[in-house]
């Protein structure tokens, strides 16, 4: 995975059926483990999901994706 972009990792995860809501990459999550949405890692992750026409399931409102 070290040589893959976040977009490639998200794409591969989708191909493999990974539940992306069970993954995280935030540098500064809150006490409940929810992503901050502001750190570089969150911004790159948001862009990676957007490149696949999706919203990060860790940050999407309940029932949305």
* 47 touches 41 (CB < 8 A): no
Length of the chain: 65
Instruction: Summarize pLDDT for 26-62 with one digit per residue, the tens.
Output: 999 999 999 999 999 999 999 999 999 999 998 866 5
Are 57 and 65 in contact by the 8 Å Cβ rule? The answer is: yes
- pTM, two decimal places: 0.83
Is there a contact between 28 and 39 (Cβ–Cβ < 8 Å)? Answer: yes
Q: Would you kindly state where each structural domain of the chain is located, as residue ranges?
A: 6-52
């Amino acid at each position: 995975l070290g040589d893959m972009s976040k977009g490639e990792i998200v794409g591969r995860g989708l191909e493999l059926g990974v539940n992306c809501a069970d993954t995280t990459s935030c540098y500064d999550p809150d006490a409940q483990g929810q992503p901050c949405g502001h750190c570089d890692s969150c911004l790159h992750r948001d862009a990676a999901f957007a490149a696949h026409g999706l919203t990060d399931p860790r940050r999407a409102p309940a029932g949305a994706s």
